[in-house]
Structure 1
Amino acid sequence: MQVTTVGLDLAKNIFQVHGVTETGEVAFNRPLRRAQVLAFFERLSPYLIGIEACASSHHWARELSQLGHTVRLMPPMYVKPYVKRGKSDAVDAEAICEAVTRPTMRFVEIKSEEQQALLSLHRARDFIVRQRTQLINMVRSLAAEFGITIARGVARAIEFARSIIDGKQPELPDLAQDVARHRS
């Protein structure tokens, strides 16, 4: 029984692999611990592996590609229509295996470590900008509770926050200033 296609459902600790033959017969559908994954695929001859694109999928795609397998990543929303029954890892692996063989399936390019590092930089920056915006909005709303209006712009909010830290905001009650200074 020659396996041609495998669906790999990634998880934190237990991965599910579903393999089928050229005729579509199920060769295996079993769980693997994270530490067993590479050893399992090293023993097998190269074939097509489908994986849903997720947090660790690019890492596993690179690892499995180095073993000679052809790895295709797919957006989860494109795999979902192939789920035949209730949600489980085994059912998901089967759906991934089915979806990867479809001629009209769209695939995600496997990213290199350098590309992922650059993307993590962008995500971190985006996160910091969102946090800064939330903090500025919180300071603005705190001030508004006491009738103080802060002009728009990061510089104005920082200027107002500095005036609180320096104790130059007599209109703001001491307790509210402590909140802005993040004291309890």
Structure 2
Amino acid sequence: METISGVGPIIALAVEVFSPDVACFKSGRDLAAWLGLVRQQHSSGGKERLGRVSKAGQADIRRLVNIGAISRLNWLGRKSIPEGSWLARLRMRKPRMLVAIALANKMARTIWAMLTKDEATKIRYALSLPDN
């Protein structure tokens, strides 16, 4: 897990110790929802209605993942965020903390993918890569 940008030994240890087996989550969104990093759904009749980020969930790991995302943004701010990446586009139009939460959500989904698929060498973290 530590190969993911923004995830260090403390976050990796917290996910291993305090979270249930990640295989019990059906998708990366379910893990992010358990952490409280996704928007609330008020959908009905096929019409999708999304609300604010819920903050309901496992507060300790969520706080650590948020801190990792903020530190990653600070580091990228000193270098430069590659043009055309989803992070650069989001950073241009949204407030800094909202971008940090979106990055934390992406980190949580990547953690789920790495732990469930056992393909740590094949998964590329798309922070520095432009969208195609």
TM-score normalised to structure 2 length = 0.26
Considering only CA atoms, is the larger Rg found in Structure 1 or Structure 2?
1
Which has more strand, going by share of residues? 1
TM-score normalised to structure 1 length = 0.21
Q: Which has the higher contact order (CA 8 A, sep 6+)?
A: 2
Which has more helix, going by share of residues? 2
